[in-house]
Amino acid sequence: MNNGNAPSSANTELMGLPCQPGDELRPPPCAMVIFGASGDLVRRKLIPALYKLSRCGLLPEGFFVAGASRTSMSDDAFRNDMEAALKKTDGFDAQSWAEFARAVFYRQVDYADPSTYAGLKAVLDEEGRARGMNGNRIFYLATPPSAYSIIGRNAAASGLPSSGWSRLIVEKPFGSGLKSARELNAQLYRDYKEEQIYRIDHYLGKETVQNILMLRFANAIFEPVWNRRYVDHVQITASETLGIEKRAGYYEQAGVLRDMFQNHMLQVLALAAMEPPSVYESELVRDERVKVLRAMRPFNPDDLREHLVIGQYGEGAISGSYVPGYRQEEGASAQSPTPTFAAMKLHIDNWRWQGVPFYLRSGKRMKTRFTQVTIQFKGVPHSLFRRALPGEPGPNALILRMQPDERVQLKFHTKSPGGRVCLRDVVMDFPYTEGYGGVSLDAYERLLLDCMTGDKMLFVRNDGMEISWSFLGPALELIGSRDARSPKLYIYTAGTYGPPEAETLIQKDGRDWLDYGNDNG
């Protein structure tokens, strides 16, 4: 069984310059097995992503997908279910779906019973031979993490990995803490090597997240000022208007730190703060991301409240409509201590960032939905306009918006038209897809394609995952223990930007949360 590595030429071809519209690497022949195929993730993300790749001509020749779950279902019933889901998305075309549906299959599998994998193996072998495949297979575990190890073991024992390479995609959360993550790794390592395990974080697949590296390292104007000499602080915000959406069973155990910070927020931080690698190559880029995570200053349990504010949404209004509080959500405890919001201040102890604070915040049921990185620069060292203007001109900022619309913005000052000397703030705005006529891929489409080509740059490596859990460990312990040093849980009104105490966290440093470019902020 191959260890899952792609040929060394794959990354070179994919990253070759210049890129033309529609110029994408065609993956080698492979099949995909999706465990947990009756779940919501498959309907909302995975099948739509594969269908889009198929319509764009980006799937390999002979590609097919086999869904597997405990639910009893025929091939046609599964196809009909997926078709109904696709019709709710943009770009559905009956003819292209009919062609793609011929490559969609389904088999019922009891994850804990090895004997039930026989039907799945049969369809993989039969379709593989009929389509001229070479045994390359991807196993996507769209299941609760508790099922990862048993599926991985029984899939291997049942002979699902074939003569070609095999890769295992796992969703977050990968464990609930450092200990459980290591235990899960040990279980998967019985049958798979680290090179075969793809820990997916869909935030890393967003175009603007990837563009952080291009913006920094392909332009001479940004990197020289991307350091402690010129940057006052960095803010990373992921604001959601949605609540837990009937996921109380998961969220009661996870909370916002496990759900958002351990993976999405810290991975984006690592990209924004990393050093340039010598070559734009997967493992070298991942090395630099891990170095940032290693350099994060550990929390001191005795002063954790100075660095972390947590909250939970109460009832309120989103876009003028009433929404219940977290404790009124179906499945949530009426006295639940689970945080749905967190604001965090941390430092990176290295030469580039020493003394520069990073402020991270994420929450549910917030006023507006947006995710962005804001690089706040220091003010001018000497204001020569101080006699002509009231007050000091505000700071410059570079804004990297990831959702809902991907764009790059630069805030600076210019003179207002007219005879008087007046400054005004202006924003230079670049919508990310403007002027591009090629194929635009969303996060899951990008990451699925990368897995097929064997490019792990945008996937989370084991050491980075463990460092993230280790960093958050003291905070998670104190929140769970609720002793005298634990951060207090503040209830905030749905439809706001979190509890007022989160404002205090940053205002005591003489700063404010910055929502530049957020039209609704």
- d(CA 383, CA 393) in angstroms, rounded, equals 8
Distance of CA 295 to the CA centre of its chain: 21
Between the alpha carbon of residue 21 and those of residues 15, 24, 178, 458, 504, the distances in Å are: 14, 9, 43, 22, 47
- d(CA 7, CA 45) in angstroms, rounded, equals 28
Cβ(331)–Cβ(246) below 8 Å: yes
Cβ(190)–Cβ(431) below 8 Å: no
- d(CA 479, CA 202) in angstroms, rounded, equals 27
How many other C-beta atoms lie within 10 A of the C-beta of residue 93? 12
How many other C-beta atoms lie within 10 A of the C-beta of residue 108? 17
Q: Which residue has the tokens 């060292």?
A: 381
- Identify the CA nearest to 165 among candidates 60, 69, 68: 60
- Identify the CA nearest to 193 among candidates 521, 462, 13, 412: 462
- d(CA 50, CA 446) in angstroms, rounded, equals 10
Spot the catalytic one: 264, 307, 347, 382. Answer: 264
Torsion, Cα 504 510 511 512, to 10 degrees, reads: 40
Segments in 43-137 forming alpha helices (H): 47-55, 75-86, 94-101, 118-130
How many other C-beta atoms lie within 10 A of the C-beta of residue 351? 9
- d(CA 14, CA 126) in angstroms, rounded, equals 31
How many other C-beta atoms lie within 10 A of the C-beta of residue 224? 9
How many other C-beta atoms lie within 10 A of the C-beta of residue 388? 11
Strand partners of residue 317: 322
202 in catalytic set: no
Strand partners of residue 431: 407
φ, ψ dihedrals at 387, nearest 5°: -80, -25
- d(CA 196, CA 170) in angstroms, rounded, equals 11
- d(CA 397, CA 77) in angstroms, rounded, equals 52
Supply the residues annotated as catalytic.
264
